[in-house]
Amino acid sequence: MRNFNTLFISILSLSPLAVISQSSDISSSSHPIDDFLGGIYSDIFGSSANNDPLPSLSATLDTKTLILSTDFKITNVPQIREYNFEFKAVKANPDGYERQIYTINGQFPAPLIEANTGDTIRVHVKNSLDIPQTIHWHGLTQNGSNVMDGVPGVTQCPIPPGGSFTYEFPIVQQYGTYWYHSHFANTMADGLAGPFIVHSPDDPIQRGRDFDEERVLMITDWMHDQSTNIVAALKSEKGYRGSPAAPRGDSILINGVGKANCSDPNYPSGALSHSMLRVSIDQHPFEVVETDTTAINGPTALHEIPIAPAQRYSIIVNSNQGKAGDKFWLRVNVAAGCMDKVRQEGLAIFRYTNDNEEYDDKGELPDSKAWDDLAAYDSPCRDLDDSHTLSPRIPLDAAAKSSQVRVLSSKFGTFAGMTGANVTGFAFNDVSFQNQIWNPILPTVINTGNYTSKNIATVTFDVDGYVDLILNNLDFGIDHPYHLHGNDFQLIKRGNGALTVEQAMNMDLSVKNPLRRDTIFIPGDSYAIIRIRTDNPGVWALHCHIGWHLAVGKLAAVIVRPDEVRKCEQPDKWLGLCAGQNIHEEGPAKRSLPPATGRTRHLESLKEVKNKIIHRRGLKDV
């Protein structure tokens, strides 16, 4: 019997959302754990579990649903796990400012999915929004199910307004921390994102042996304006708030609630948000045990972890620093070094409780102090593997050499558009992605075995084996998180400047058990080489996971073994999504949308107490 108790926290960064596993409004009174000293209770700064909901709610904030089940049997025989999802718009004021948000089944954040490796996931989606939608299952490789990857214009036509579609796919030899989100424009920034946890007896990290409880904590930088309006502005000559740069959030939400700057209703956002967040818990060091679903031997007494958009980390925290009733700040700081040097912090309360006992703090806040060695707010943004060794627990050396090498170089600038007019935005290999959402790439590759277009950069690997992809970030001073669909990759080299194929062929590479992941953060004016095994034929998106950058062109397609792709089945209902649509239409559709109400202070929804905590009282029908 161990003489300490531990909490497993899975940290995901969901551009522009981030997620940690430890949720708000949860206490061990509703989920008792044997021999767990008080359990852990997290009360989000800006939320209250005790507020009565408004009587006309159509959406709920129930973060108890983000607690992983202690009764979940990871040894169950494979089964079909079936869900019904409805996309719906509601009005909400998660940080005190009312605006329209998008929900799944009226829930914000979106529901937790929990499954085992080998299970089949079946999700019936009804799109009750007035814009098209898809769901991407982030980190799940869709081996043998490329048509279910959920990228409009790449692997499918989107689900039209009022339409329905069923996603169905097996979880093939994968486990760990995943998430799902909309892949249409940047509407995941309006609320369409949720956690997806996959268990397996083969996972080197197990509940009951390595930790006692599991939590999911979702963290997002939140905008007061609707994402569709922001994207439309970014594509215009004037830009958004006078700038073509990606905006930083107006506030930080933790499990769907937060606190905006109430002193100034016209509070402006700064430019250049690159959404790296740094997370710490006062007086609680933690061990990093997973990155992007790869179990690792990482730092064992870390005080703070940097999280780039779309990345996931899991940490183990010892609950041996307090007694029942004690509380500490959990801090989420924006890494200002890559976002215009502006300070921004979100806070949650990390609280100890006894089983079956609740506490009323009467508005009292923690008095804990931040670690004195946290990164300076304006220090350079760097991935965790830049400063610490992250070694996979299940060793896998990279192949001694690769069979093919390709290059994708990305930058901001002005590029040729679909209609002949120039477009300003981001591009790979000087091609800015202009998404013909009703004319996706995958059906063309299935039917013809190849694809060429002036609207998207593509690279093709046609060998069965191991290949290298050089990612050059040519933007000086702009950092990007690059996410590859369909594959985990091995990180075999980082460096400054840009790299050619010829230079890469003569370099010493890190092939001894290199880090495996699906999202890599590359600072401006630097490169990374990733090694990929081509055992999953398909058409796979590679893109920046800062949603605003993706929406203005930063996506390429990696085509893996097109001869094998030609053997893919094309389900009738999948093809039916494209029926009767204009294949030349660029998405998201350029149309007038209702103006956001994000600058209106919703006083009726706020309850000010002496400590100026804003208590969120609910969501309403649009």
CATH number assigned to the domain comprising residue 464: 2.60.40.420
How much is the pLDDT for 135?
Answer: 98
User: Is the backbone of residue 245 left (phi > 0), alpha (psi -120 to 50) or beta?
Assistant: beta
Within a domain: 112: no
Please tell me whether residues 376 and 450 are part of one structural domain. Answer: no
Instruction: Look at residue 21 and tell me if it is in a domain.
Output: yes
Do 333 and 220 share a domain, yes or no?
Answer: yes
What is the reported pLDDT for 71? 87
Pairwise CA distance, residues 607 & 612, whole Å: 9
Domain contains 439:
yes
Is the domain of 372 the same as that of 433?
Answer: no
Residues 553, 414, single domain; the answer is yes
- Residue 446 and residue 509 share a domain: yes
pTM comes to 0.87
**Together in a domain, 272 and 410:** no
On whether both 602 and 571 belong to a single domain, the answer is: no
| Total tally of structural domains belonging to the chain | 2
* Helix (H/G/I), strand (E/B), else coil: 211: strand
Does any domain span residue 251? yes
Across 79-212, the runs of DSSP E, i.e. the strands, are 80-92, 99-104, 113-116, 120-127, 135-138, 164-170, 176-182, 193-199
- Whether 444 and 363 map to the same domain: the answer is no
Are 504 and 374 part of one and the same domain? no
- Same structural domain, 284 and 220: yes
| 301 and 404 part of one domain | no
Cβ burial 582-600 (10 Å sphere, 16+ → b, else e): eeeebbbeeeeeeebbbee
pLDDT < 50 stretches in the chain: 1-4, 15-59, 264-273, 589-622
Residue whose tokens read 């980082």: 494
Residue 570 lies in a domain: yes
Residue 437 counted as domain residue: yes
| C-alpha neighbours within 13 Å on the C-beta side of residue 321 | 18
Residues 325 and 216 in one domain: yes
- 72: buried, middle or exposed (CB in 10 Å: 19+, 13-18, 0-12)? middle
Residue 409 lies in a domain: yes
- 541 lies in a domain? yes
Range of the domain at 496: 396-576
Q: Is 65 left (phi over 0), alpha (psi -120 to 50) or beta?
A: alpha
